[in-house]
Amino acid sequence: MGGYEIIGNRDKAIAIVEIEKGENGKKIAEEIMKKHKNVKTVLKKMSERKGVIRTRSYRILSGEKNTEVVHTEYGYRLLLDPRKVYFSARESTERQRLASLVKDGEKIMLMFAGIGPIAIAIAKKHPNVEIVAIEINPAAVKYMKKNIEINKLNGRVKVVFGDVKKEVKKYSKEFDRVIMPLPHKSELFIDEALQCVKPNGWIHLYVIRGEEEIEQVAKEISKKINAKTFNIKKVLPYAPRVNKYCIDLML
Ligand SMILES: C[S@@+](CC[C@H](N)C(=O)[O-])C[C@H]1O[C@@H](n2cnc3c(N)ncnc32)[C@H](O)[C@@H]1O
């Protein structure tokens, strides 16, 4: 088995598994449900993440059809259905890293906001930051709004349903920090980040790159946008010798 991820809480969770050829998926699902009594559904990954909204296809191996769950991490709750939206429980440490970089009073542009986990991690830690969160998947927008509500963060995050390319045009050089969590193509939105970030602001650009090339890639981006300094943070492994990284760029 290629490993599994559990999303949810002590009462109800889902396991997402990678089943390799020749393996008995049903049996693996039963074993997971026996080990983790809170797992009510086991989903098998049927594709890579695809399309604009970065979801994948799943098949239910065992358990309930309703795959909506409330995931808990670091004292906040996130309602979502992994069949309709992007979510990775494994990125919780990265969300906390971002939240700890933020300073009180900052204005933050969160592009590609999904169901809002980064916005919520930041808003929970900093009572007086202002966050604009843009997302194109209507299902994710619906969950983000609910998540702001269930975490009692009403009025703290401005949710914008739309395309970053279009929506960012409404802002000019006004954000202290721009967060770009769309690793497979965030580099195509650098102009939008530059359009809305303050002259001395930060851009957090997520990329998927090989271990050998990341340093060079970061240097080139930094040079291209005239950044004063940059830092590379490995977020998660993606494939052999290929990782998801965040490049923190200070303008
Ligand atoms: C990799 S997911 C990250 C979601 C969220 N930030 C998180 O950490 O869970 C990227 C998100 O960007 C959204 N997206 C993709 N292209 C977009 C665009 N042009 N404008 C706005 N949102 C977009 C997708 O629907 C998806 O929810």
CATH number for the domain including 119? 3.40.50.150
211 and 119 assigned to the same domain: yes
> Could you tell which of 80, 96, 136, 185 is best to mutate to test the pocket of ligand 1, judged by most ligand atoms within 8 Å of the CB?
136
Q: Is the pTM of this model over 0.95?
A: yes
61 and 161 assigned to the same domain: no
Residue 115, domain extent: 90-250
Q: Shortest CA distance to 42 belongs to which of 73, 6, 78? A: 6
Q: Shortest CA distance to 178 belongs to which of 156, 160, 186, 140? A: 186
144 and 223 assigned to the same domain: yes
219 and 132 assigned to the same domain: yes
Q: Residues 163-170: what's their mean pLDDT?
A: 97
Query: At 135, is the pLDDT very low, low, confident or very high (cuts 50, 70, 90)?
Result: very high
- List, chain by chain if needed, residues with CB within 6 Å of any ligand 1 atom: 52-54, 86-87, 91, 112-114, 117-118, 134-137, 140, 163-165, 181-182
* Separation between Cα atoms, residue 170 and residue 122, nearest integer Å: 23
* Separation between Cα atoms, residue 228 and residue 74, nearest integer Å: 32
Looking at residue 73, what is its pLDDT? 97
Query: At 52, is the pLDDT very low, low, confident or very high (cuts 50, 70, 90)?
Result: very high
Report the interhelical angle of 117-125 vs 138-150 (nearest 10°). 20
Tens digits of residue pLDDT in 62-117 = 999 999 999 999 999 999 999 999 999 999 999 999 999 999 999 999 999 999 99
* Amino acid found at 85: V
